[in-house]
Amino acid sequence: MTYPLQQSLMSSEILLPALKAAFRKLHPRTQLRNPVMLIVYVGSVFTTALALQALISKSEAPAPFIIAISLWLWFTVLFANFAEALAEGRSKAQAAALREAKQDVRAKKLIAPRLDATRLLVNGSSLVKGDVVLIEAGDIVPVDGEVIEGVASVDESAITGESAPVIREAGGDFNTVTGGTKVLSDWIIVRVSVNPGEAFLDKMIAMVEGAKRQKTPNEIALSILLVALSIIFLLATVSLLPFSYYSVVAAGKGEVVSMTVLIALLVCLIPTTIGGLLSAIGVAGMSRMMQANVIANSGRAVEAAGDVDVLLLDKTGTITLGNRQASAFFPAPGIKEEELADVAQLASLADETPEGRSIVVLAKNRFQLRQRETSMIGANFVAFSAQTRMSGVDLPHDRDPRCLRKGSADAIQLYLEQFGSKLPPAVSETVDQIARRGSTPLVVIDDQRVMGVVELKDIVKGGIKERFAELRQMGIKTIMITGDNRLTAAAIAAEAGVDDFLAEAKPEDKLSLIRSHQAQGKLVAMTGDGTNDAPALAQADVAVAMNSGTQAAKEAGNMVDLDSNPTKLIEIVEIGKQMLMTRGSLTTFSIANDVAKYFAIIPAAFALTYPQLDALNLMHLHSPNSAILSAVIFNALIIIFLIPLALKGVTYRALGAATLLRNNLLIYGLGGLIVPFIGIKLIDLVLTACGFV
């Protein structure tokens, strides 16, 4: 599915609704949710009242100055609202796209779970849990359910974005269908598994609605810190007023600092930058998950992904390609490797399994061997079957055909025994060696002559070892889970570079492993698709269920991968890390950029009372009013400039915590110190040149 996530931030479909929402969010009840911006909101109201008073009668400061301060404080609130509305607007655009996928179609309801049962045409929206429907080729699946009879090819592109159809059949782990998908061929009988409003699409729409997002634990902790800082600065600012009165009375000169200046000082000192962008960062994190075709139940799950300590990964399909492939030829004594490869590829021509095709490909790539058209005339192919565990071809040759066979060692041994022959000791030893390292040996014969052995092995995905090394560098432990024996598991684990493995894994073993790590205070992430994975998914802190999996797995997980790609778990962790890195980076920048405002506003506020403070005017700002107004304007504009970074996120790098902290301080800490000095000075020059102050 193509979501509006790819749209530019300047797209009118996103920008205009966000602008309207920014003004709607000026309601006091909305502002109460963000204590930091609430202080700015109250300051804006107070300075507006002072500006009205200045227009009517004499006031504490020139009316144009108070009006300018008031306007820019309102802009600060609006810019913060706009950042949040922009992030929510992207989520709402996703929800709108999902709603378009919902269709109220006519369903063929069966009064009994049989193909020949009486059919009733009803609206799909009227179906309830337990109803049984027939879905035939060309029909839209009316609602989520489980296939109880039949098999069909289903187009799930409306949900996953993948054009390739998938097979859904009764029994097994691929027996669920989702409302809005389309049956392309054959028929299936489906038992409805949800009530109206509880379908997968309904849940997806609710999940991506940013306005309903709950704050995550880290976000709550950061909010408490920001509120604490704001209270400290509020008390410090309030204490300046009586201090100013005392100084004027004691010194007999200077002026009492005005309320407008104190409000401007307070707004510039409290962490308004991160306060205004905090919600946007959280909503954008969920949007990035959606962009990766992952539905997160809550922002809590996204954040937990960034804090993960242990990754549990299935071997098949995640670490390995999923099908064993031919990797090497081991000729018998007196046989050349090329001769073995030639016979093996001819004996595999009738083997349509991925393993059989891989033998043909390996022979072609290693020795440029191809089937010989002339020798194949009149050939009798022996297809591979699970019963015989062999494949081959009988080639015309003088009186008797030439019989080429390839199969498991046991099957070939039985075949040779018909002729009173057996495997040579050297070949048997090769078979044992291959089996001991976790691979599968296939023996090749030409009539009764044993040619050698082909090794089939799990092929570790390219680049997966490097990704595991990156995760290790970040302090994340990777554990491979497999049903293979310990010997095979150890071989694959060593080649893939995982930190540990769990062999011959059963559902209770996975659950026990997760609990043991959680008992040590670690967060655990895993993927699953089967009903037997549901207990472990329910226990894991980050549980990614495959969309192709069972209903039980999807209900147990707190994320659903629409692509059903087990490797997606690594990407999910990276997105979670990126969200935490973005929040940390902008918090560092927000706190650091307050320093320049001290040097702008404090000397200006007490310029007449304490001329000595002019030494702190490092930026040589034009006048006290210019200094204060420049700081307030910069404080508002920096929120707008940081919105793209908050929504896109900082660039993800697989680095350790110490390195990330150092880089964070160097880039955003040092940047937060330098940028405001430059920005405030430039604004001061513009204001001076335009004669505003």
Binding-site residues, in ranges, read: 351, 355, 384-391, 406, 529, 533
- Cα 268 to Cα 265: distance, rounded to the nearest angstrom: 5
Q: Which of 155, 202, 314, 446 is catalytic?
A: 314
SS3 230: helix
Q: Which residues of 112-133 are buried (b: 16+ CB within 10 A; e: fewer)?
A: eeeeeeeeeeeebbebeeebbb
- Does residue 564 come out as left (phi exceeding 0), alpha (psi in the -120 to 50 range) or beta? left
378 Cβ partners below 8 Å, 6+ apart? 396
Q: Which residues are annotated as a binding site for Mg(2+)?
A: 529, 533
Is residue 202 annotated as a catalytic residue, yes or no? no
8 Cβ partners below 8 Å, 6+ apart? none
- Cα 303 to Cα 280: distance, rounded to the nearest angstrom: 14
Sign of the alpha-carbon dihedral angle for 627, 633, 639, 645: negative
Angle subtended by helix axes 63-101 and 624-648, to nearest 10: 10
- Does residue 662 come out as left (phi exceeding 0), alpha (psi in the -120 to 50 range) or beta? alpha
**β-bridge partners, 457:** 325
- Cα 143 to Cα 193: distance, rounded to the nearest angstrom: 8
**β-bridge partners, 395:** 402
CA separation (Å) from 151 to 148, 165, 183, 514? 9, 13, 10, 35
Helices (H), 184-298: 200-208, 217-251, 259-269, 272-291
| Residues annotated as part of the active site | 314
